[in-house]
């Protein structure tokens, strides 16, 4: 099978690359691309890529992910998170490629108090969330063979993320204030990458079954950003004075959901997976992380 991965220098893309490199069965061919090889906003490039390569699965790990910056760059955010998704979906439809697109908990307003299911309605509170919601619709509208996976609070040993920021701050700041009134679940991008590869295997082995639709995936458990930071310091024996603060005390250009825990029942049942607790996955990355 030929599998295209876009945005493969990002957190999720890099974790996919790492897993594929470690695979002993190399029967599938992966095209790992980022903006230099395949700019997904460029229609001519996207068209040519699909014409020249017979793609069975397209994993769209590319995105505009700068949540706060998006408030001032809505046009760029839309071109990557909506328009480019439409371009990919159109080509997937034309070439009968299965489209796996990644979305976010930020499509919800966060005013709930129970884990969000796939049936909950969008109500994004930020430009980033708005573009990701529109991207989901662009995918579904343009190709029937689509899976959307919404995830949350992604971190990895690659790229920039909350874990790395906390480790960096711990070296310079005697006291760190972290928001304690936003609740969600951290997700190790390596776990998500593994699930995506598993989903591709299941779809390929069960061609008569219909798997299209939206799925939620994060690690198990619930945390505030404060809990997340606390665990990062505790697991690294870092004696940092950690102070819980409110969202009001840490204003950001983009509004974030106060509660965005995702209900993962559907993905677990459909694909027969077990999901590690966020603390377990977090612990596993520290030997791998560069400081």
Ligand X SMILES: NC(=O)c1ccc[n+]([C@@H]2O[C@H](COP(=O)([O-])OP(=O)(O)OC[C@H]3O[C@@H](n4cnc5c(N)ncnc54)[C@H](OP(=O)(O)O)[C@@H]3O)[C@@H](O)[C@H]2O)c1
Known catalytic residues are 128
Is the CB of residue 155 less than 8 Å from the CB of residue 10? no
The answer to whether 61 contacts ligand X (rule: CB under 6 A) is yes
Q: Which is nearer to ligand X, 62 or 92 (CB)?
A: 62
Of 46, 59, 63, 229, the one binding ligand X by CB under 6 A: 63
Site string for ligand X, 143-172 (x = CB under 6 A): --------xxxx----x-------------
The answer to whether 126 contacts ligand X (rule: CB under 6 A) is no
Of 3, 4, 7, 86, the one binding ligand X by CB under 6 A: 7
Site string for ligand X, 193-232 (x = CB under 6 A): ----------------------------------------
Of 49, 65, 87, 166, the one binding ligand X by CB under 6 A: 65
DSSP sequence for 4-44: EEESTTSHHHHHHHHHHHH-S---SEEEE--TTT--TT-HH
The residues of the shown chain that bind ligand X, judged by CB under 6 A, are 6-7, 9-12, 34-35, 39-41, 61-63, 65, 80, 84, 102, 104, 132, 151-154, 159, 189
């Amino acid at each position: 099978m030929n599998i295209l991965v876009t945005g493969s220098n990002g957190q999720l893309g890099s974790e996919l690359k790492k897993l594929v490199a470690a695979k002993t069965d190399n029967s599938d061919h992966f095209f790992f691309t980022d903006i230099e090889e395949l700019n997904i906003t460029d229609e001519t490039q996207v068209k040519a890529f699909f014409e020249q390569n017979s793609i069975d699965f397209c994993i769209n790990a590319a995105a505009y992910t700068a949540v706060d910056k998006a408030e001032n760059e809505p046009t760029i955010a839309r071109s990557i998170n909506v328009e480019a998704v439409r371009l990919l979906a159109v080509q997937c439809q034309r070439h009968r490629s299965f489209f796996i697109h990644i979305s976010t908990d930020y499509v919800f307003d966060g005013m709930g108090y129970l884990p969000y299911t796939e049936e909950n309605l969008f109500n994004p509170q930020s430009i980033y969330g708005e573009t990701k919601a529109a991207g989901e619709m662009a995918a579904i509208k343009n190709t029937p063979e689509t899976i959307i996976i919404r995830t949350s609070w992604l971190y990895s040993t690659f790229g920039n993320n909350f874990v790395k920021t906390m480790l960096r701050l711990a070296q310079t700041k005697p006291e760190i204030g972290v928001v304690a009134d936003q609740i969600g679940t951290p997700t190790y991008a390596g776990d998500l990458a593994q699930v995506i590869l598993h989903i591709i295997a299941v779809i390929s082995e069960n061609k008569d079954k219909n798997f299209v639709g939206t799925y939620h995936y994060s690690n198990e458990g619930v945390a505030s950003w404060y809990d997340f930071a606390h665990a990062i310091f505790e697991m690294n024996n870092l004696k940092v004075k950690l102070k819980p603060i409110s969202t009001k005390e840490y204003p950001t250009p983009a509004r974030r959901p106060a509660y965005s825990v995702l209900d993962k029942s559907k993905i677990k049942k459909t694909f027969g997976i077990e999901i590690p607790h966020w603390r377990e996955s977090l612990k596993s990355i520290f030997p791998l992380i560069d400081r």
